[in-house]
Chain A
Amino acid sequence: MNSYKAKQRTATALIHIFLIIMSIIMIVPFVWMILTALKTNQEAISVSPFYFFPHNGWHWENFGTVWKSYNFLLLYKNTLLLIFFRVVCACLTATMAGYAFGRLNFPGKKLLFSLVLVQMMIPSQIFIIPQYTMVSKMGAINSMFGLVFPGLVTAFGTYLLKVGYEGLPKDLEEAATIDGANIGQRFLHIMMPLTRSSMVSLGIFTAVFAFKDLMWPMIVAPDAAHTTLSAALSKMQGQYSNDYPSMMAAAVLAILPMVIIYIIFQKQFVEGIATSGGKL
């Protein structure tokens, strides 16, 4: 029995060693990002000696410099507004459609729902040129509407909410019908609040997707004052290509808010993104 326990202990130790090595591999790029951001460029490109840590003090002012020179306040504002509108649009349209597909009978339901399923199967790259043309014809290049545009509705969200509504017990609604509530009231006051967890998942998924997206903001908001964090980073790389501390400081500033929110709402994040079905 003792040798069995000892064996178990070695096994657990080995597992931990492996997990710790993996964790280090996962974390090193983040650590390196921060350490480089705190150096002078001379230290960053010094090879012999090669500095892991800032040598002449920690240059926190690099963040301030990048913040000002790239107008990060504006980038945060644009990204935050994009996320806000995308989440509101996705949740609103998807909860309505999800409720109808999940709980109501109407002509053409099967056909219309098959449109939702088909959209989820088509790679989104095929939509981009015409979507761009539409935005351009509306004169919405470099505008918030242009950024939000492809996310006004969501097939994936509709599917997610439909599944959520289907899972709710039938008698809930019947009781309300007897009380004389119409379908709109039943939806608003009884059913919608019960799908809160699906809505949270959809909201997080939509927010992270909008935050990470690169190609759409690059083409539809090329102007530095109207673009998002992701797209701005791609520009900075072109301009600051030899100023490594500045680039790393910008990268840290770009990911920091989302990382903090993720660490606080970990459980919801993991669930929300895991339900996305690889569309991220």
Chain B
Amino acid sequence: MAKTKAVKQKMTPRARNEALWGLFFVAPTIIGLIILNFIPVFQTIWQSFCKTGDFGKGNIFVGLKNYQTLMFGTGSAEMWQSLWNTIKYTIVQVPVTIAISLLLAVLLNKKIAGRSVYRTIFFLPMVCAPAAVAMVWRWIYNQQFGLLNNVFHTNVAWISDPKIAWFSIAIIGIWSSIGYDMVLFIGGLQEIPHDYYEAALIDGANSWEQFKNITWPLLSPTTFFVFQTGIIGGLTIFDLMYMVMDKTNAALSKTQSIVYLFYQYSFTQNNKGYGATVVVILVVFIMIITFFLQKIEKHFVYHA
């Protein structure tokens, strides 16, 4: 307080005027962020130390008991299984999406006929509600009447076989996000100076050598960004899971994601204490992953 006063006294009237306008302009956003986001973070952490009473009413402080139950006790099998399901989903969805979208981006970065039509098509799922997307995929996957089994004359239980349901959902995830990653990659590709490729052509480098020695290293900041945001998106997957997996689905426990579990505890079973605990565990997990990603960034991203 004393410090701000001292600063204010040294301020010229013009500077003070500017300071007042500045504070006035940021006030709605800052107050909003504090009420809507920062206080809730602490409330959620507090909630995770509380037991939710019957009918979701009342909070009784129980210390680390929720954590004990969900990490080592009766709820632990489901919690760890959900976390593992989420990790499995992410490990498949993110690299496959990156590989396909990078290939598409490289192809569409050339002067090729119809490239804007292709781009429009690949990006289309980005503007569609995941609820609608999941509905049609679920219908396509339908074991008895679905398009997939009837076209290929197979009889696969795409979304009710515990071994493959998570993979089927990962395919929807890949299909949904190819266009988005592709657009980011095209943006990154356009920043690579053309001279490099011309020089490489004079040296007689083929397409693969050009990709390996020019495109891949110079695109690495974009690739890393896409990778990082993809991992966080994968770890927080909910919409597709919720729409595809019924509560009666036999594969649910081997498929449900950690955010799905959070939703079930918090809003279906009205056990906000467990819900808060699950979400805190998820956020801590994401923070650890982010920390390691920052560590490997230096090695992965090429600096000219």
Q: A: which residues have CB within 8 A of B?
A: 12, 15-16, 18-19, 22-23, 25-30, 32-33, 36, 44-47, 50, 92-94, 96-97, 99-101, 104-109, 112, 115-116, 119, 121-123, 125-134, 149-150, 152-155, 158, 182-184, 187, 208, 211-212, 214-215, 218-219, 229-231, 233-234, 237, 244, 247-248, 250-252, 254-255, 258-259, 261-263, 266, 269-270, 273-274, 277-280
Contact = CB atoms under 8 A, between A and B. Distances in A.
Nearest to B265: A129
Interface stretch (B38-46, B62-70, B81-89, B295-303): B38-46
B95 interface: no
Interface in B99-125: 100, 104, 107-108, 110, 112-114, 116, 118-125
Contacts of A244: 139, 145
Contacts of A19: 104, 107-108, 112, 118
B130 interface: yes
B213 interface: no
Nearest to A113: B26
B21 A116 contact: no
B173 interface: no
B92 interface: no
B285 to A, nearest CB: 10
A33 B136 contact: yes
> Would you call the interface of chain B mostly helix, strand, loop, or mixed?
helix
A123 B286 contact: yes
Contact of B33 (A50, A155, A269): A155
Contact of B131 (A112, A123, A134, A254): A254
A153 B28 contact: yes
Count chain A CB atoms within 10 A of each CB in B108, B120, B280 and give the residue with the most: B120
Given A115-B33, A215-B238, 14 more contacts: A26-B178, A33-B132, A45-B145, A93-B32, A97-B28, A125-B236, A130-B44, A155-B29, A155-B37, A211-B129, A212-B239, A255-B128, A258-B129, A274-B183
A106 B37 contact: no
Contact of A277 (B175, B229, B275): B229
Closest 10 CB pairs of A and B: A278-B229, A106-B22, A153-B32, A130-B40, A100-B25, A97-B29, A104-B22, A251-B132, A130-B43, A106-B19
Contact of A106 (B18, B33, B38, B290): B18
Contacts of B22: 100, 104-106, 109
Count chain A CB atoms within 10 A of each CB in B8, B23, B138, B272 and give the residue with the most: B23
A214 B134 CA distance: 12
A96 B26 contact: yes
B214 interface: no
Interface string B256-295: 0001001100110000100110011011001000100000
B140 A32 contact: yes
Contact of B279 (A33, A126, A212): A126
B75 interface: no
Given A15-B112, A47-B150, A244-B139, A269 B37 contact: no
A194 B48 CA distance: 46
25 contacts: A15-B112, A22-B100, A23-B121, A30-B124, A96-B26, A96-B29, A97-B26, A112-B26, A123-B283, A129-B40, A129-B276, A152-B32, A208-B127, A214-B238, A215-B239, A230-B131, A252-B132, A254-B132, A255-B132, A259-B124, A266-B116, A270-B123, A277-B229, A278-B225, A279-B229
